[in-house]
Amino acid sequence: MAKAAALQTLPLELHETISTYLIPQDIAALSLSCKSLLYSLGPNNQLLWYRLAARGLPAAEQPEPFTDTGERDYWREACDMFRGLRWGCMLCLKIEEPAGQGFEEAEDAVEKTLRVVKLYCQNCYCDWFVDLEKFGTRYPEIKIPIELTLKTPYSKDRFIVPIPTAIKQIEAQGKIPYDQARTASNRFIENWVYKGRPRSEAINLARAITFAIEEVYIKRYKHIQIALAPEELYDCFARVLVRKIISPKEFLDDGDDDDDYDDDDEKNKSAYFLPDVGSEIVKISEILTISESDGGDIDGNTTAAYGVEKARKLALDGIFSRIFCPPDDFRPENLADPDRRLLALKMGDAAEGALWWLCNFPFLYRGAEDPNYYTDKYMEWRDGGEFCYWCLRENGWVKNQKNGFYRFNPGRASQGNQIHKDWIMTHAMTAHKDLLWVMPKELGRPIRKEFSKQDRNTELESLQNCHELEEIPKWKVVHLDRLLSKSSYFVM
């Protein structure tokens, strides 16, 4: 059996090709690992470092064409950036206003004390660092040593930490792999224990949330999942339990249209929208615990299957039918306040997320006929109504009255009384439930109202002639609150 080729034995030109998958700082580190790589990727390859330096410059500041005269040492200039001795991003060499920077004092044999400036461009700042305060809200049990953090230039009290360092600390202190540590159930359990509650209680409640979501929500509410991913719903229920049991507070509802929560408390909105869900989850937890114990008696029945079915019915009737309607009877106008508010909020998110193409279709359809089809910033239609892609498709692209009932004017998400009359989302989730997770395969770019009339006509013709559909990937249902960082490399 032939041995796999070592990196050093590959042709030198392949070294440079492989290095394109690394950031410049890592290319420099790789070049220092052995003599052959130092020759192919280090100071001898000035053209490589010229290209890396040019890639980091604005278009208007591109350097002169490369000449191997030795007048400039691009390798040395890059190394000075990596060391913080030259203006530019320490990771990718990009020259721009830094998004993050810090200072550290380093001992130097000649100059005694050398001031090193750590600079990072906006992309690298987001890709490689996480705000320490945000990290602490998600992982309160993990303590990051101060020497592993970096101060930001904008506040003396604000720190950031490299994401790889944070992950290592999670695994070292939590003694479990990071992929397991970051799951919603583990985060709930660890936060619950951190707040002084018994671990056994946390495990039982986590099991109840998982049971409700897996046995009812995932199986019977796929039409809602386009707006609210199961992972996000888990976080919602977890916050409700914290409010209900650990930090109880009155859920105010003064009857007006103003939000009853602090606008800065984004992460806890769901707890105010679902004031009674916590009690139902506790009941489910108790039923599941009794049904799994030897001789557990529920309503005079000692079989585990009876307890599971009772818990499933409680989850359906006591939680999901109240906040999302019965699965086979989606009429959100019948939902009571404040139970309807979470659905209203998430339907608005879907209109800007996975179903953005559907909710912006009227701009394309009406704009192809009349570029001035709405009269003001509130998008009030001149002749009433907007047009649903699926309705038009089913009717051979012939307008009919059914297309004119829905206006895209969601208003404020907290105003649940608008959910049944203003949103095309309501129509789509009612009349086209089976089509929510598909879209035209030929939709080459997002539909937007800025299209010229000619572009609108071209795009509309393409859609009308498209007969194939493709699935909308689940990752498009984004739950941004679950992400501490917008990193391209790490899920944090």
Residue 487 resides in a domain: no
3-state secondary structure of 107: strand
Q: Which residues contact 436 (CB under 8 A, 6 or more apart)?
A: 222, 223, 226, 355, 428, 429, 472
- Domain range for 297 is 184-341
- Total-model pTM: 0.76
Residue 88 resides in a domain: no
Contact 360, 449 (CB under 8 A): yes
134 and 219 within one domain = no
- 249: amino acid identity, one letter: K
pLDDT at 406: 41
Burial class (CB in 10 A: 0-12, 13-18, 19+), 334: exposed
Give me the count of residues in the chain: 492
Q: Which residues contact 93 (CB under 8 A, 6 or more apart)?
A: 24, 52, 53, 55, 56, 78, 81
Calculate the alpha carbon distances from 222 to 226, 398, 437 in Å: 7, 30, 9
**Nearest partner of 117 among 157, 92, 80, 165, judged by Cα:** 80
15 and 135 within one domain = no
Residue 190 resides in a domain: yes
How many CB atoms are closer than 10 A to CB 260? 15
How far is residue 62 CA from its own chain's centroid? 35
pLDDT at 334: 82
Q: How far apart are CA 338 and CA 273, in angstroms?
A: 6
297 and 363 within one domain = no
Number of separate domains in the chain: 4
The pairing of strands 100-108 and 112-120 is antiparallel
3-state secondary structure of 160: strand
How many CB atoms are closer than 10 A to CB 255? 6
Q: Which of 341, 367, 398 is the last residue of a domain?
A: 341
Residue 168 resides in a domain: yes
374 and 289 within one domain = no
| pLDDT tens digit at each of 492 positions of the chain | 556 667 778 888 888 888 888 989 999 999 999 888 888 899 999 999 998 888 877 766 777 788 777 788 999 999 988 887 787 888 888 876 555 544 443 344 444 444 455 778 888 888 999 999 999 989 999 999 988 988 776 666 788 899 999 999 999 999 999 999 999 999 999 999 999 999 999 999 999 999 999 999 999 999 999 989 999 899 999 988 988 888 765 444 433 344 333 333 444 555 556 778 999 999 999 999 888 775 566 666 667 788 889 999 999 999 999 999 999 888 887 888 788 888 888 887 777 778 877 877 766 665 444 444 444 333 444 444 456 788 888 878 776 544 444 443 344 444 433 443 445 777 788 888 889 999 888 664 545 545 555 666 676 777 777 788 888 888 777 666 668 888 888 888
Q: Which of 306, 341, 376 is the last residue of a domain?
A: 341
Which residue reads 């509410």 in tokens? 221
**Nearest partner of 55 among 29, 83, 24, judged by Cα:** 24
Residue 141 resides in a domain: yes
Contact 241, 224 (CB under 8 A): no
Q: How far apart are CA 360 and CA 439, in angstroms?
A: 13
The two tokens of residue 259 are 């939000």
153 and 224 within one domain = no
pLDDT at 307: 86
276 and 246 within one domain = yes
274 and 194 within one domain = yes
The pairing of strands 155-162 and 100-108 is unpaired
pLDDT at 302: 62
Residue 314 resides in a domain: yes
The two tokens of residue 21 are 């998958």
